[in-house]
Chains A and B, each alone.
Chain A
Amino acid sequence: MQRIAKVLGLVVALMSLWLAPAFATLQVDVNQGNVQPLPIAIPDFNGAPAGRDIASVVRADLERSGLFKPLDPRSFLEKISNINQSPNYANWRTINAQALVTGEATQQPDGRLRVAFRLWDVFGEQQMIGKEYTAAPESWRQMAHMISDDIYQRITGETGYFNTRIVYIAERGPLLNRKKLLAIMDEDGYNPTYLTDGAYMVLTPRFDPTSHEQRIAYMSYIAGKPRVYLFDINTGHQQMLGEFSNMTFSPRFSPDGNKVVMSLEKGGVSNIYVMDLRSRAVTQLTNTRAIDTSPSYSPDGRQITFESDRGGTQQIYVMNADGSNQHRISFGPGRNATPVWSPRGDLIAFTRLEEGAFNIGVMRPDGSGERIISTGWQDEGPTWAPNGRVLMFTRTLRGGRGSQIWSVDATGRNERRVLTQGDASDPAWSPLIQ
Chain B
Amino acid sequence: MSPSRSTTRIRISLASGEGSRSSSVGLIGAVALHLAVVVVGLFTWEHRLDIAQDSPPVVPVDLVTIAQKTNIAPTVRELPKVEQQPLPTPPPPPPSVQAPPLPQLAPTPPPPTPQPKSELAPDVKPAPAPKAKPVPPKKDMSVDAALNAALNAPPAHPQTRNGRVAPTAHRGFGQQNANDMDLRDALRNDIEQCWNPPAGAPHPEQLIVSFHLNLNPDGSVAGSPQLTAESQAAAAGNPFTRAAADAARRAIYVCAPYKNLPPDRFADWRDSVVQFDPRDLTGQ
Contacts and interface: CB of A to CB of B under 8 A. Distances in A.
The answer to whether A binds B is: yes
A135 B82 contact: yes
A33 B281 contact: yes
Interface in B213-252: 224, 238-244, 246, 248-251
A320 interface: no
Contact of A419 (B66, B79, B200, B272): B66
Task: Give the bracket for the number of chain A residues in contact with chain B.
Answer: 35 or more
Nearest to A19: B174
Given A26-B269, A193-B76, A130 B88 contact: yes
A320 B20 CA distance: 96
B103 to A, nearest CB: 9
Given A3-B143, A28-B274, A126-B104, A22 B168 contact: yes
B200 A22 contact: no
A194 B278 CA distance: 45
Contacts of A156: 198, 201, 243
A434 B90 contact: no
Contact of A157 (B171, B243, B274): B243
A24 B171 contact: yes
B246 to A, nearest CB: 7
A126 to B, nearest CB: 6
A130 B200 contact: no
A200 to B, nearest CB: 19
Contacts of A6: 143-144, 147
Contacts of B199: 35, 411, 413
B62 A416 contact: yes
B21 interface: no
Interface stretch (A85-93, A304-312, A325-333): A85-93
A214 B188 CA distance: 51
B209 to A, nearest CB: 10
A85 B98 CA distance: 11
B264 interface: no
B241 to A, nearest CB: 7
Contact of A233 (B72, B76, B188): B76
Nearest to A15: B134
Interface in A162-193: 184, 188-193
Interface stretch (B2-10, B25-33, B43-51, B150-158): B150-158
B95 interface: no
A223 B245 CA distance: 58
A84 to B, nearest CB: 5
A129 to B, nearest CB: 8
Interface string B135-162: 1010000011011001101001100000
Interface string B76-95: 10111111111111110110
A261 interface: no
B96 to A, nearest CB: 10
Interface in A1-60: 3, 6-7, 9-10, 13-14, 17-36, 38
Contacts of A195: 76
Nearest to B69: A421
Contact of B132 (A22, A135, A421): A22
Contact of A33 (B76, B150, B251): B251
Contact of B201 (A9, A21, A27, A157): A157
Interface stretch (A115-123, A252-260, A265-273, A292-300): A115-123
Contact of A26 (B129, B180, B281): B180
A193 B225 CA distance: 51
A143 B89 contact: no
A233 B199 CA distance: 36
A433 to B, nearest CB: 6
A14 B174 contact: no
A369 B82 contact: no
Given A6-B143, A34-B196, A156-B198, A124 B253 contact: yes
B170 interface: yes
A33 to B, nearest CB: 4
Contact of B168 (A25, A38, A89, A124): A25
B42 interface: no
Interface in A116-163: 116, 118, 121, 123-128, 130-136, 139, 142-143, 146, 153-158
Closest CB pairs A-B (n = 5): A157-B243, A22-B169, A157-B240, A130-B87, A33-B195
20 contacts: A6-B144, A28-B272, A30-B274, A30-B276, A86-B93, A118-B87, A123-B249, A124-B250, A126-B104, A131-B84, A132-B85, A132-B87, A134-B82, A155-B246, A234-B76, A388-B202, A409-B200, A413-B199, A434-B79, A434-B81
Given A125-B99, A389-B200, 7 more contacts: A31-B280, A36-B196, A126-B104, A146-B84, A157-B201, A193-B72, A233-B76
